[in-house]
C-alpha cells in the first residue's frame, strides 16, 4: 500500500493526526494493535474520572450532614461502580472507534507495525510505504525497580480496572497525580489506603497548594507516607508487604505501582528507520520531527509531557506543519495540567520557584483565597486559592489554582496566556456573581492594588475631585 500519511498508535495524538489528514483528502493508514482510543479512553482519563465521580458521590453522602441533610454512611456496590466505569468508556468509545475513522476515509489496520526501512512500515499482513509517518505509541506504567515487586505482579493504572472486589488495604507506590487520584477514590469507596512516596507528593506543583490536597487526602483517611523509599516487596499474610528504607514494614491486600511511565519503543524497528531514542522516548525537535525527516513523534512518546490534551495538540502541530504550511512549534502553546483529586489542583506555566530561577528578581506573585470567594463560602468549600506568577511588564508567567473546580478555572488563564496576555487582562472581564471564576480577577486585582490605591492615585483622585 502507498499512503500520504502512516500513523502508528490510535491514542489521542494518532487519532487527531489521522482524522485531520483524512479530512484534508490525504490517504491515511492507521495501525493499532490494541484498543482504539489508547490509554486515555481505556485505562486513564475516562475510567479514572468515572471512578472519581462515584467516590465523590459517596463522599457527598457521607458528609451531607454538615448541610443539615442527614443520610448516613453510604453502601458501596463495587460491581455497580465498575459498571458505571465501563459505561463511561462505552459511551465515549464511538468517538474513537474503528468504524468512525474508516468512515472518514482512514484505512485502519489492527495489527502491530514496525519500520523495515526509513520509508516503509510493515505488519503481519500489510506493508505501507508513505510520504510521512507519525509515531504515537505512547507510554505504559513503569514498575519501579524494587526487589521482589515484579514477582508480585502489582496492579497498575491499566490493570486496576480488572478488580472485581474493593481492595481491603491498597498500598500505592507513588504520590503523583495518578497515585493521589486513585488513592483518594478507593479511600472514599471504603478501602484502607496507604500512599508511599520517595520524595514529596505532588512535587511538581506549588508547595502550599499541594499541601491543600495532601490535607484532603489525610482527612479522607489516606495514610500518606512521604520521603519513604521502598526497598523490598514480598507476599505475606494473604497480601503484600513492603519494607521501607528505615526498616518499617507496611502490609496490605493489594499494591498499585503508580510511580511514573515509560515510553513504548521496542519492536518498532526504529534503528532500521534511523530514528534515535533517549530515556524520554523518541528524540524530536520542537516541531516534533525525528532524526528521520519523514517521521514525526506525537503524544507521550515525544518526551514533551504525558497529557492527553498535549497529545491532541501535538497532532494539530503536525497537521499545521505538513498540510497548512504553518511553521508551528509544539512549545508555542502553554499547556495546562490538572490533578483531579478533591479538591482539584491545576496549573499552567511556571511555578514561582521556576520563574525566579529563570527571571530572577523580576518576578512578583499575587494570590487570592477561596475563603474570600462568596460562592465557595456558600458551598461550604472555602479551602484553596489562586496564585499568579507575574514577570517583567506584567507578563503572566504562571497561574496555579487549588480548590473546587480549579481544573475549569485554569482555562480562563489558559486563554489569556495563549494570546500572550498580561496579568492586566485578567482584571478586565466582568464575571457573573457569585462564581468561583471570580478568583482570578481578584488575584489580578490584588497585584495592582498598591498602584491603583497608592499614594499617587489618592493624590490624583483628590485633584480630580476638586474640579467635579
Give me the number of domains the chain comprises. Answer: 3
**Are both 449 and 369 inside the same structural domain?**
yes
For residue 213, the Cα-to-chain-centroid distance in whole angstroms is: 16
**Chain segment 144-176, per-residue pLDDT in tens:** 999 999 999 999 999 999 999 999 999 999 999
Q: Does residue 245 fall inside a structural domain?
A: yes
**Are both 94 and 238 inside the same structural domain?**
no
Alpha helix locations (H) across 394-454? 406-418, 438-452
**Are both 380 and 447 inside the same structural domain?**
yes
Q: Does residue 56 fall inside a structural domain?
A: yes
- Across the strands, what pairs with 368? 386
Instruction: For residue 181, say whether it is annotated as part of any ligand binding site.
Output: yes
- The candidate with the shortest Cα–Cα distance to 45, out of 295, 371, 340, is 340
Q: Does residue 337 fall inside a structural domain?
A: no
**Are both 57 and 76 inside the same structural domain?**
yes
**Are both 255 and 266 inside the same structural domain?**
no
Instruction: For residue 177, say whether it is annotated as part of any ligand binding site.
Output: yes
State the pLDDT confidence band at 453, using cuts at 50, 70 and 90: confident
Instruction: For residue 312, say whether it is annotated as part of any ligand binding site.
Output: no
Instruction: For residue 20, say whether it is annotated as part of any ligand binding site.
Output: no
**Are both 203 and 272 inside the same structural domain?**
no
For residue 389, the Cα-to-chain-centroid distance in whole angstroms is: 21
- The candidate with the shortest Cα–Cα distance to 172, out of 160, 188, 190, is 160
Instruction: For residue 179, say whether it is annotated as part of any ligand binding site.
Output: yes
For cell 507496611, name the residue. Answer: 250
User: In this predicted structure, what is the pLDDT of residue 467?
Assistant: 81
**Are both 184 and 48 inside the same structural domain?**
no
Q: Does residue 398 fall inside a structural domain?
A: yes
HSE-CB for 60 with a 13 A CA cutoff: 10
Instruction: For residue 412, say whether it is annotated as part of any ligand binding site.
Output: no
Q: Does residue 284 fall inside a structural domain?
A: yes
**Are both 8 and 110 inside the same structural domain?**
yes
Q: Does residue 123 fall inside a structural domain?
A: yes
Instruction: For residue 175, say whether it is annotated as part of any ligand binding site.
Output: yes
Residue 257: Cβ within 10 Å count: 27
- 130 pLDDT exceeds 80? yes
Q: Which of 243, 259, 275 is the last residue of a domain?
A: 259
Mean pLDDT of the region 408-437: 94
The Cα 296–Cα 400 span in angstroms is 32
Q: Which of 223, 243, 259 is the last residue of a domain?
A: 259
Q: Does residue 195 fall inside a structural domain?
A: yes
Instruction: For residue 14, say whether it is annotated as part of any ligand binding site.
Output: no
CATH code for the domain in which residue 217 is found: 3.50.50.60
What is the reported pTM?
A: 0.95
**Are both 356 and 227 inside the same structural domain?**
no
Mean pLDDT of the region 291-312: 97
The Cα 4–Cα 395 span in angstroms is 42
**Chain segment 319-377, per-residue pLDDT in tens:** 999 999 999 999 999 999 999 999 999 999 999 999 999 999 999 999 999 999 999 99
Q: Which domain holds residue 362?
A: 343-455
Q: Does residue 464 fall inside a structural domain?
A: no
Instruction: For residue 260, say whether it is annotated as part of any ligand binding site.
Output: yes
**Are both 218 and 281 inside the same structural domain?**
no
- 284 pLDDT exceeds 80? yes
The Cα 179–Cα 221 span in angstroms is 15
Instruction: For residue 176, say whether it is annotated as part of any ligand binding site.
Output: yes
CATH code for the domain in which residue 390 is found: 3.30.390.30
- In sequence order, what DSSP letters do the residues of 67-100 get, joined into one string? GT----SPPP-HHHHHHHHHHHHHHHHHHH-HHH
**Are both 8 and 106 inside the same structural domain?**
yes
**Are both 135 and 279 inside the same structural domain?**
yes
What angle, rounded to 10 degrees, do the helices at 207-219 and 177-189 form? 20
State the pLDDT confidence band at 203, using cuts at 50, 70 and 90: very high
Q: Which of 235, 259, 283 is the last residue of a domain?
A: 259
Amino acid at each position: 500500500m502507498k499512503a500520504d500519511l502512516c500513523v502508528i498508535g490510535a491514542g489521542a495524538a494518532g487519532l487527531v493526526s489521522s482524522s485531520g489528514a483524512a479530512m484534508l483528502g490525504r490517504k491515511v493508514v492507521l495501525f493499532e494493535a490494541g484498543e482504539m482510543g489508547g490509554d486515555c479512553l481505556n485505562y486513564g482519563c475516562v475510567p479514572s474520572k468515572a471512578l472519581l465521580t462515584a467516590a465523590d458521590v459517596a463522599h457527598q453522602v457521607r458528609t451531607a450532614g454538615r448541610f443539615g441533610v442527614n443520610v448516613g454512611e453510604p453502601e458501596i456496590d463495587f460491581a455497580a461502580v465498575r459498571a458505571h466505569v465501563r459505561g463511561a468508556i462505552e459511551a465515549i468509545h464511538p468517538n474513537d472507534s474503528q468504524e468512525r475513522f474508516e468512515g472518514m476515509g482512514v484505512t485502519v489496520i489492527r495489527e502491530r507495525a514496525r519500520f523495515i526501512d526509513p520509508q516503509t512500515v510493515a505488519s503481519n499482513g500489510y506493508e505501507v510505504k508513505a510520504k510521512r509517518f507519525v509515531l504515537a505509541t505512547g507510554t505504559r506504567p513503569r514498575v519501579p525497580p524494587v526487589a521482589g515487586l515484579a514477582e508480585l505482579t502489582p496492579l497498575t493504572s491499566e490493570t486496576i480496572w480488572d478488580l472485581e472486589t474493593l481492595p481491603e488495604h491498597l498500598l500505592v507506590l507513588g504520590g503523583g497525580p495518578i497515585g493521589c487520584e486513585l488513592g483518594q477514590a478507593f479511600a472514599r469507596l471504603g478501602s484502607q489506603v496507604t500512599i508511599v512516596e520517595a520524595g514529596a507528593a505532588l512535587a511538581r506543583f506549588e508547595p502550599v497548594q499541594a499541601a491543600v490536597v495532601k490535607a484532603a487526602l489525610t482527612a479522607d483517611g489516606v495514610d500518606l507516607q512521604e520521603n519513604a523509599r521502598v526497598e523490598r516487596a514480598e507476599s505475606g499474610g494473604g497480601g503484600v508487604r513492603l519494607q521501607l528504607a528505615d526498616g518499617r514494614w507496611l502490609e496490605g491486600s493489594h499494591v498499585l505501582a503508580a510511580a511514573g511511565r515509560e515510553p513504548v519503543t521496542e519492536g518498532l524497528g526504529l534503528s532500521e528507520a534511523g530514528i534515535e531514542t533517549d530515556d524520554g522516548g523518541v528524540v524530536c525537535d520542537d516541531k516534533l520531527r525525528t532524526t528521520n525527516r519523514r517521521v514525526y513523534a506525537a503524544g507521550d512518546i515525544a518526551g514533551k509531557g504525558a497529557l492527553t490534551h498535549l497529545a491532541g495538540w501535538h497532532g494539530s502541530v503536525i497537521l499545521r506543519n505538513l498540510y497548512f504550511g504553518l511553521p508551528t512549534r509544539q512549545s508555542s502553546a502553554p499547556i495546562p495540567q490538572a490533578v483531579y483529586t478533591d479538591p482539584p489542583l491545576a496549573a499552567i506555566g511556571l511555578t514561582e520557584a521556576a520563574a525566579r530561577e529563570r527571571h530572577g528578581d523580576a518576578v512578583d506573585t499575587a494570590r487570592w483565597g477561596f475563603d474570600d470567594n462568596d460562592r465557595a463560602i456558600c458551598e461550604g468549600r472555602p479551602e484553596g486559592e489562586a496564585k499568579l506568577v507575574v514577570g517583567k511588564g506584567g507578563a503572566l508567567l504562571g497561574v496555579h489554582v487549588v480548590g473546587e473546580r480549579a481544573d475549569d478555572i485554569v482555562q480562563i488563564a489558559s486563554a489569556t496566556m495563549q494570546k500572550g496576555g498580561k496579568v492586566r487582562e485578567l482584571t478586565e472581564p466582568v464575571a457573573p456573581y457569585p462564581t468561583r471564576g471570580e478568583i482570578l480577577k481578584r488575584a489580578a486585582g490584588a497585584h495592582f492594588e498598591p498602584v491603583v490605591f497608592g499614594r499617587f492615585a489618592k493624590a490624583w483622585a483628590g485633584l480630580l475631585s476638586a474640579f467635579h
